[in-house]
Structure 1
Amino acid sequence: IAIIPWIGLTLRRSHPLDCRKTIIASLILTSAFVFITFFAKTAAQLLTGQILLGFPWGVFQTITVVYASEVCPVVLRPYLTTYVNLCWIFGQLIASGVLKGVAGRYDQWSYRIPFGLQWLWPVPIMIGVFLAPESPWWLVRHGQREKAKTALLRLTSAQDTNFDPDATITMMEHTDLMEKAVSEGTSYIDCFKGVNLRRTEIACCTWVTQVFSGIALSAYSSYFYLQAGLPRKHAFTLTVVQYALGAIGTGSSWALMSRFGRRTLYLAGIAGMWLLMVIVGVVAVSIPHSSTEPTAGWVIGSLLIAWTIIYDMTVGPVCYALISELPSTRLRAKTIVIARSCYNVAGILLGVLTPRMLNPSAWNWGGKTGFFWAGSCLLCFIWTYFRLPEPKGRTYRELDILFALDTPARKFAGTVIEAVSEENAVLEDAKMPVIEVVERIS
């Protein structure tokens, strides 16, 4: 199930439909595949439905971010990118509330209600997508200049008399020509050649860090609380509180990211999560826990909520900003697909290990699982310190220069870049003609 969305990611890269039609088609498929899970009577039928749902899920993981980045002002793009994490939290919060509501049921509706509620979303979303303007960038790439102009006018206030749609379209056409020139002959294999290998490694490890920072305990939080000794009703309540506070944490990250930068937040977040995981393990070892003695469960539950707040202030949302900034311009889409694939593969490993760690009939680690994730957090911290650069305040051109010069990650923020002429040939595309482009941000 975890690897199927990768196929959706790859199919999206070669699909001829525009963004709106692709989203609508994926929503229709989602509605259809939910029927399989809702009416499933065997584990095989349920698995089939979940696998098929992975295809549209893979499309949603990329196309929504692409669409938002192409229809919104430049100044909003970093915030909208990290907003993806907030959307995940909203979904988790709703799911936790639904599961809490059916936790006391022991009939078939205990699982059919959560599946059936998924039918609430596709229709209103499809209506909104249908009424939304198409991405002007997509229209320009496909030679539909007049439609692109119409879309731009819909995205711009009619009171802005200084806006020149024709000049903006011309800028887009110039940019498209440049992209065609530099991307000719590129493929996924180019992501692993030369300086792009480092950028691909950073993108992949940045995303995988989300998995190995201990997010498994958050994903399995209700079950984890039960194993830690909390009563069932309190376990689900804490899960809801956990995700609600996570939403507040993501909002806080917007202010922190602009002040401290991405790398600093990543390091601080991993360090904080490492400390909390160590404490979780120590509490599990030193304080007895059971359904009749839930003290350890409450302590561990409080620590996990604190972990969630730190995660959603740092690693959770900042990852999406880094993923969109650090890949090279011509290979960004392909790099993101590779990075997300690594995330999904790591998710498979997580999905295999975590139930065994928590299940009393398997490894039965319980709260001692914190020691495992503390170890993985430490490895992530070491990698982040030596390999993750700081892109804050850098243009894509400056990032290209820093990567081409093999600047150490720790020196990215303090390196001063002088004017680099085309004759220096520092970059792979140094011989490309220079076109000055000014993009509106208001």
Structure 2
Amino acid sequence: MMFFLGWMTVAIFIPVFAPSLPVLAFGEAFCGISWGVFQTLSTTYASEVVPTILRPYVTAYVCMCWGAGILLSSGVVRAVAGLEGDMGWWLPFVLQWIWPLPLFIGAYYSPESPWNSVRRNKVEEARISLMRLYQDMPEREHRVEQTLACIKYTTEMEKSETANASFLECFKGTNLRRTEINCVVWSAQILCGNAILSYSVVFLQAAGFSELQAFNINISLSACYVVGGIICWFLFPHVGRATIYMSGLTFMLFCLITIGGLAWGPGKDAQLAIGIILVISTLCNMISIGPTCYPIVAETPSGRLRYKTITIGRFVYNLTRIFSNSVTPRMLSSTSWNWGAKAAFYYAGTNMLCNIWCWFRLPETKDRTFGEIDLLFTHRVPARKFKSTHVDQFAHGGDYLSKGEVEHKENAV
């Protein structure tokens, strides 16, 4: 993290002083290397430094931080929209230099992931990190030793399945299923209709809004990222990850169909309705799909392949983003396909496909430890039975029983 924050500081020089568009594009790509590290490393780190009960909140907070950054950048873009000359595009790039130094200091003082330390056979480093993470807890030393023993046990159990822990292992055995979940859950963030939200300014202009009106509404849309994440926090203790995710997809589907239907309604009323539904669908997205994605992708991989699986999933996400960035502007542009608001129908179709996949393939990992999740995948438990299956990760051979078998066993006793 610290290395690539330094990389970012240097990379920003290229777009700031770019003399031409090709150099500007090269500078953006150079910055993209560090952005790729940040977006994969942050989720993995967040899932490994907190107890199971706090994992969904901290991983979802990663999404809220994305939203806060998008909100801030939307405000900057709106502020420079009226500037003449090069200052309008130059100033936003310059302002990026504000962030690397304070983030570098924060990374320097942050504890190392104890899971990562154990995987690298640095048990004492893991113990020191846990002592820092548990510093305000009663019986700290006992809790640290308990947690460390659990991490070592889970890591040893995973070693038997993924001895070499190479990228190829992500596509073998039960890890293939985990990689599939990671890839689709990441990609569905775009295919659910979020691609239109990302082009909200262009979309609103295609729907008939003026440029400044579109920028103003875009700020409201960006604010939904933060507000929605906070609301999602209150849902996590009561509702499962898969339920929240699929409910968000379903609501977004109806919003997209409505937006597409309003494309045939000319006049200011239809434009206003599209703007309102766009804000509502963004809020829904950031209450459900956006933040819930992060605990899912952090919890489903095996510990020894977590970094690699999340990296593969995020790579597929970026490929999907490249595709959507290629076709969505053409859908919306009056000089190309000129679909306008009808483009919502296309993403309604991709949204439905994602929802169908989720019903059959997306497991429920709420309140599960990493060891329990490993056993459920090892025993190839169907996605719809993840929630009701009882697991004893410390039993010899990793025993597991269905909910009905547990009740029968308890009644017999």
Contact 1:140–1:169 (8 Å) recurs in 2: no
**Cα distance change on mapping 1:187 and 1:229 into 2, 3 Å:** same
Aligned runs of 1:153-192 on 2, under 5 Å?
153-157=131-135, 160=138, 162-164=140-142, 167=145, 171=149, 180=159, 182-192=161-171
- Conservation of the 8 A alpha-carbon contact between 1:262 and 1:322: yes
Structure 1 length-normalised TM: 0.82
Cα distance in structure 2, aligned partners of 1:425 and 1:276: 44
Matched residue, 1:278: 257
**1:436 aligned partner:** none
- The range that moved more, 154-163 or 319-328, is 154-163
Q: Distance in 1 between matches of 2:295 and 2:188?
A: 14
Whether 1:300 aligns to 2:274 is yes
CA 1:173–1:121 in structure 2 vs 1: closer, same or farther (change >3 Å)?
A: same
Instruction: Find the counterpart in structure 1 of residue 410 from structure 2.
Output: none
| Residue aligning to 1:204 | 183
2:380 pairs with 1:406: yes
Contact 1:149 1:169 in 2 (8 A): no
What amino acid sits opposite 2:335 in the alignment? S
Alignment deviations for residues 254-311 of structure 1 (CA, whole Å, 9 cap, x no partner): 22232120111122111100100011011111x225xxxx332221111110110110
| Counterpart residue number, 2:42 | 64
* TM-score, normalising length: structure 2: 0.88
Q: Contact (CA 8 Å) 1:280, 1:303: kept in 2 or not?
A: yes
Tell me how far apart the structure 2 counterparts of residues 395 and 152 of structure 1 sit (CA, whole Å). Answer: 17
2:235 counterpart residue number: 256
Shift of 1:217: 1.4
Pick one of 363, 374, 380 that aligns with 1:389: 363
Contact residue 148 and residue 169 of structure 1 kept, 8 A: no
Is the counterpart of residue 372 in structure 1 residue 346 in structure 2? yes
Alignment partners' CA distance in 2, 1:389 and 1:202: 9
Secondary structure, aligned partner of 1:260: coil
**Distance of aligned partners of 1:206 and 1:146 in 2 relative to their CA distance in 1, 3 Å threshold:** closer
1:314 pairs with 2:288: yes
Structure 1 letter corresponding to 2:80: V
Alignment of 1:5-404 (within 5 A): 23-142=1-120, 147-157=125-135, 160=138, 162-164=140-142, 167=145, 171=149, 180=159, 182-285=161-264, 287-289=265-267, 294-404=268-378
Structure 1 position 175, deviation (Å) = 5.5
Deviates more, 1:106-115 or 1:326-335: 326-335
- Relative distance call for 1:73 and 1:170 in structure 2 (3 A) is closer
For the aligned residue pairs, the C-alpha RMSD in angstroms reads 2.6
The share of aligned pairs that are identical, in percent, is 40
- Deviation (angstroms), 1:158: 6.1
Report Cα offsets for 1:225-270 as digits up to 9, x if no partner: 1121112222111111111123111111122232120111122111
Label 1:236 to 1:24 Cα distance change in 2 as closer, same or farther (>3 A).
Answer: same
In 2, the alpha carbon distance for the partners of 1:315 and 1:104 equals 34
Per the alignment, in what secondary structure is the counterpart of residue 163 of structure 1? helix
The DSSP-based 3-state class of the residue aligned with 1:230 is coil
Structure 1: distance between partners of 2:136 and 2:380: 47
Report how many residues are paired.
Answer: 399
Q: 1:37 to 1:218 in 2, by over 3 A?
A: same
Q: Deviations over 1:103-133 (max 9, x none)?
A: 1123101100111110111111112222333
Bigger shift: residues 115-124 or 391-400: 391-400
Conservation of the 8 A alpha-carbon contact between 1:229 and 1:296 = no
SS at 2:303's partner residue? Answer: coil
- In 1, the alpha carbon distance for the partners of 2:260 and 2:358 equals 24
CA 1:153 to 1:192, structure 2 compared with 1: closer, same or farther past 3 Å?
closer
Stretch moving more, 48-57 or 248-257: 248-257
Decide whether the 8 Å contact of 1:211 with 1:346 is kept in 2. Answer: yes
Matched AA of 1:98: V
- Equivalent-residue separation in structure 1 for 2:147 and 2:87 (angstroms): 53
- Amino acid in structure 2 at the alignment position of 1:351: N
Stretches of structure 2 lacking an aligned partner (at least 5 in a row): 401-413
Aligned-residue offset at 1:159: 7.6
Q: Deviations over 1:161-214 (max 9, x none)?
A: 553487368635565555555532332222222222222212211111111011
Q: Secondary structure at the match of 2:368?
A: coil
